[in-house]
Copies of this chain bind each other. A is one copy, B any other.
């Protein structure tokens, strides 16, 4: 395998984006958007439509009969919505065979920021092994991508430790043949130094403490669990669906 260039960005809403037209983008929003997307697809959800605002979500519902609306504002569910942003809301009985229109504060913005990229995947601890395997399969000698940009969603335009640890897990698994920006190197160092205490580090993060204070500790523990869902959500034509083949 050739060396892979990996650039990690700390949060959505950056004014300076790298050139994305020849990159694979990986969006990470551990607490909780990408974790919830992975879970929803694993539970039979047909597609997730990410939107930026609650108003946009409710408008889109009008054009998509039978669809459901989920998302959060300041980590809490919103009135008129079918679900919040807890992965435990997205059970097979509710999401099976349905489209879900989803708004989240940071994750949706990261996807929109990445829109110029030819391929956008959603990663979380839950589906990390599948993401890693797919990257290794993709980045052979004739790979059409010139590198990977990891968009950590962040929290309110700030660095977020859970997202960065997840990026670090990804980078560490790709081995030594990687060329990293400083945040990529930091992510790998952070992951290495806390690999055996991931849940504790996530629990003590600013976003982690907020979720716990709102009663979502179970969500946090679930979202911190690596490699339990063999799914790669891909953003295609405005929707997030299972990646079928590359």
Contact = CB atoms under 8 A, between A and B. Distances in A.
A194 B192 CA distance: 11
A213 to B, nearest CB: 15
Contact of A190 (B10, B13, B186): B186
Nearest to A8: B159
A183 interface: yes
Given A15-B15, A16-B156, A161 B190 contact: no
A27 to B, nearest CB: 18
Contacts of A204: 185
A164 interface: yes
Interface residues of A, number: 28
Contacts of A194: 189
Interface of A: 10, 13-16, 155-161, 164, 181-183, 185-186, 189-190, 192-194, 201, 204-207
Contacts of A164: 182, 186
A157 B205 contact: no
A189 B193 contact: yes
Given A159-B159, A159-B181, 11 more contacts: A15-B15, A15-B157, A158-B182, A161-B186, A164-B186, A181-B206, A182-B206, A182-B207, A185-B201, A189-B190, A190-B190
